[in-house]
Amino acid sequence: MTYIPNEKRYDTMIYNRCGRSGLKLPAISLGLWHNFGGKDVFENSRELIRTAFDLGITHFDLANNYGPPYGSAEETFAKILKKDFQGYRDELVISTKAGYDMWPGPYGDFGSRKYLISSLDQSLKRMELDYVDIFYHHRPDPETPIEETMLALDHIVRQGKALYVGLSNYNADQTKEAVKILKELKTPIIIHQPSYSIVDRWIEGGLQDVLKEEEVGTIAFLPLAQGTLTDKYLNGIPKDSRAFNANSRFLHEKDITENRINLAKELNEVAKERNQSLAQMSLAWVLRKGIVTSALIGASKVTQIEENVKALDNLDFTENELRRIDEITNKYR
């Protein structure tokens, strides 16, 4: 059946300006880190993208090594674009990244000019695109000079292979240095993608100040702490959790501690009083006061996307609510 997007898809989504640029991002973006690989059910992946777009989510975030296997999320996305989004490319913001291990040998990792340019060429080929909207350096490289990495990003934009550039996982000092170089090159960074959630607040230790000062947008990944800030773990670890997946790079069974479960239960009580689910409140907290441009969610089910977007119905917190959230979080550190 031919896919026809929802005509009212832009009516309720919030779009925030990304830093000082002309680009706006939806307050909720969809990441393809999980559930879009070559081993996943294609029709489910396809339905997730359709549902997201129907709800006004225009930004889809990938990386060269998303899968598994590596590269397969980009290939899946290409198939979905071809089947359902012919003629809608200009309504989409598509991003990808390079910086983690991708292929064997000394040239398939970190931040050299050779790796970044080669990786993006491969990503574009897999997605069957002429350009991406945002290309990120996925993590800082302790050995490659930062000037080389930033010059590669500048070159990519000048080639027309990316419209904008971003950084991910850079700390405050690294970000400040990168911003300075890119500004001098007249290819300013417009966005930073750090992890950020109620239980992971490292960016408040300086990075947020740098991004505000430099007028760089923020898109937060893991705003739901890999599902631990949802109702999924309120009663222990469900059988379908990624924590049981031996291939999971970050979430493991040992991470779902009694401490974390009890924290989620207490936060859930605050969410109930706000007439929100724990996931909705957690996303609203990340987006509060307009500090963060977009919250990057993942999803395995259509219902998860539908629920998460409803977080936008209430982004306001009272001082008492914020204090209680802080007290609960500090209690379980």
CATH architecture of the domain with residue range 15-227+279-315:
Alpha-Beta Barrel (3.20)
Please determine, for residue 236, whether its predicted confidence score (pLDDT) is greater than 70. Answer: no
Q: Could you read off the pLDDT of 10-67 as tens digits, one per residue?
A: 999 999 999 999 999 999 999 999 999 999 999 999 999 999 999 999 999 999 999 9
Average pLDDT over the chain reads: 95
Q: Residue written as tokens 């609510």?
A: 321
Domain boundaries defined on the chain:
15-227+279-315
What pLDDT, on the 0 to 100 scale, is given for residue 237?
67
Model's pTM, two decimal places? 0.95
Residue 268, classified by CB atoms within 10 Å of its CB into exposed (0-12), middle (13-18) or buried (19+), is buried
pLDDT at 247 > cutoff 80: no
Residue-level pLDDT at 253 = 54
pLDDT band per the 50, 70, 90 thresholds, residue 251: low
| pLDDT of the residue at 256 | 78
Q: What pLDDT shows up at residue 333? A: 86
One-letter amino acid identity for 305?
A: I
Length of the chain: 333
Q: What is the crossing angle of helices 72-84 and 113-127, to 10°?
A: 40
Q: Of 7-21, 172-186, 243-257, 264-278, which gets the smallest average pLDDT?
A: 243-257
- What is the per-residue pLDDT across 117-127, written as a single tens digit (0 to 9) for each? 999 999 999 99
Lowest mean pLDDT: which of 103-112, 139-148, 234-243?
234-243
Query: Does residue 266 have a pLDDT over 60?
Result: yes
* 243 pLDDT above the threshold of 70: no
Task: Assess whether pLDDT exceeds 90 at residue 268.
Answer: yes
Span 94-110, average pLDDT: 98
Of 202-211, 233-242, 262-271, the poorest mean pLDDT is in 233-242
pLDDT attached to residue 244: 44
Q: Please, are residues 279 and 230 in contact by the beta-carbon 8 Å criterion?
A: yes
Whether the predicted pLDDT of 85 surpasses 90: yes
What's the rounded mean pLDDT across residues 188-211? Answer: 97
For the residues 188-210, what does the mean pLDDT come to? 97
Task: Please determine, for residue 1, whether its predicted confidence score (pLDDT) is greater than 90.
Answer: no
User: What pLDDT does residue 326 have?
Assistant: 98
Percent of the chain predicted with pLDDT > 90: 90
Locate 225 and state its tokens: 């702490």
Residue 255 clears pLDDT 80, i.e. is over it: no
